[in-house]
Amino acid sequence: MSSTSQKHLNFVAEPMGDKPVSDLAGVGDVLGKRLVEAGFDKAYTVLGQYLVLKKDSELFKEWMKEVCQANSKQASDCYQCLNDWCDEYKSTIQLYESECTSVEKERWLFDPQFSNLPSRDPIDLQFKDVTYTVNMGFRKGRKEILHQINGKFPGSQLTAIMGPSGAGKSTLLDVLSGYRKTGVTGNVYVNGRNRNLDTFRKMSCYITQDDRIHALLTVLENMRIASDFKLGNQLKPHEKEARIEEILTVLGLYEHQMTMSGRLSGGQKKRLSIALELISNPTVMFLDEPTTGLDSHSCTQVVNLLRFLANQGRTIICTIHQPSAKLFQEFDEVYVLAQGKCLYQGSTDKIVPYLQSVELPCPMYHNPADYIIELACAEYGTDKIDLMVRSMENGECIRWLKDPSLVMSLEELRKIYPLSTNAKDDSSLEATSPLSQLKILMKRGFVKTKRDTTLTHLRIGVNVFLALVLGCLFVKAGNEGSRVVDNYNLLFAILIHQSMTTMMLTVLTFPTELSILLKEHFNRWYSLKMYYASVTLLSIPISVVCCTIFTITIYIMSGQPMEWSRFGMFFAISLMMDFVGQSTGLMVGAWFDVVNGTFLAPTLSIPMMMFAGFGVTLRDIPNYLRWGTYISYMRYGLEGYVGAIYGEGRATLECDEAPYCHYRYPSKFLSEISMRGDQFWYDLNALIINFVFFRICAYFLLRWKVIAVR
Ligand X SMILES: Nc1ncnc2c1ncn2[C@@H]1O[C@H](COP(=O)(O)OP(=O)(O)OP(=O)(O)O)[C@@H](O)[C@H]1O
Task: List the one residue out of 509, 508, 538, 516 whose CA is nearest residue 706.
Answer: 516
* Torsional class of 420: left (φ above 0), alpha (ψ -120 to 50), beta (otherwise): alpha
Rank residues 696 and 708 by Cβ distance to ligand X and give the closer one.
708
Minimum gap (Å) between residue 377 Cβ and ligand X = 11
Nearest approach in angstroms of CB 370 to ligand X is 15
Nearer to ligand X, 244 or 343 (CB): 343
Pick the piece of the chain touching ligand X (CB under 6 A) from 24-32, 103-111, 158-166, 626-634. 158-166
Asked if residue 302 lies in contact with residue 267, where contact means CB atoms within 8 angstroms, the answer is yes
Supply the angle between the helices 57-70 and 78-92 in degrees, to the nearest 10.
60
163 belongs to the binding site for ligand X (CB under 6 A): yes
Does position 552 bind ligand X by CB under 6 A? Answer: no
Tally of CB atoms within 10 A around 363: 8
Burial class (CB in 10 A: 0-12, 13-18, 19+), 79: exposed
Among 9, 167, 392, 413, contact with ligand X (rule: CB under 6 A): 167
CB of 546 to Mg ion, least distance (A): 41
CB atoms inside a 10 Å sphere around CB 103: 21
Q: Is 169 in the site for ligand X (CB under 6 A)?
A: yes
Shortest Å, Cβ 166 to ligand X: 4
For residue 297, the minimal CB distance to ligand X (Å) is 23
Q: Please state, in angstroms and rounded to a whole number, the distance separating the CA atoms of residues 300 and 304.
A: 6
Binding mask 19-48 for Mg ion (x = CB under 5 A): ------------------------------
Beta carbons of 42 and 52 less than 8 angstroms apart = no
Distance in angstroms (rounded) separating the CA atoms of residues 633 and 613: 11
Using rule CB under 5 A, residue 292 touches Mg ion = no
Binding segment (CB under 6 A) for ligand X, from list 7-15, 161-169, 248-256, 427-435 = 161-169
Residues 116-155 that bind ligand X (CB under 6 A): 134, 136, 143, 145
170, 259, 347, 449: residue in contact with Mg ion (rule CB under 5 A): 170
From the list 342, 348, 291, 369, the residue with the least C-alpha distance to 152 is: 342
Number of residues that bind ligand X (CB under 6 A): 12
Residue 353 · residue 324 · CB < 8 Å: no
Q: Do the beta carbons of residue 223 and residue 247 sit within 8 Å?
A: yes
Which residues have C-beta within 8 Å of that of residue 308, sequence separation ≥ 6? 10, 46, 53, 250
CB of 339 to ligand X, least distance (A): 9
Are 697 and 653 in contact by the 8 Å Cβ rule? The answer is: no
Q: Give whichever of 439 and 710 is closer to ligand X, judged by the CB atom.
A: 710
Determine contact, residues 248/228, Cβ cutoff 8 Å. no
**Partner from Mg ion, ligand X, none contacting 325, C-beta within 5 to 8 A by type:** none
Size of the site for Mg ion (CB under 5 A): 1
Distance of alpha carbon 27 from alpha carbon 50, whole angstroms: 15
Residue type, 45: T
- Residue 181 is which amino acid? K
In the bound complex, what is the minimum distance in angstroms from residue 343's beta carbon to ligand X? 13
163 binds, among ligand X, Mg ion, none (CB under 5 to 8 A by kind): ligand X
Taking residue 111's Cβ as centre, other Cβ atoms within 10 Å add up to 14
Nearer to Mg ion, 319 or 391 (CB): 319
- Binding residue for ligand X, selected from 150, 171, 558, 583, defined by CB under 6 A: 171
Q: Which stretch binds ligand X (CB under 6 A): 53-61, 160-168, 233-241, 455-463?
A: 160-168
Q: Applying CB under 6 A, does 294 fall inside the site for ligand X?
A: no
Q: Which is nearer to ligand X, 208 or 437 (CB)?
A: 208
Residues that bind Mg ion (CB under 5 A): 170
- Residue ranges that bind ligand X, judged by CB under 6 A: 134, 136, 143, 145, 163, 165-171
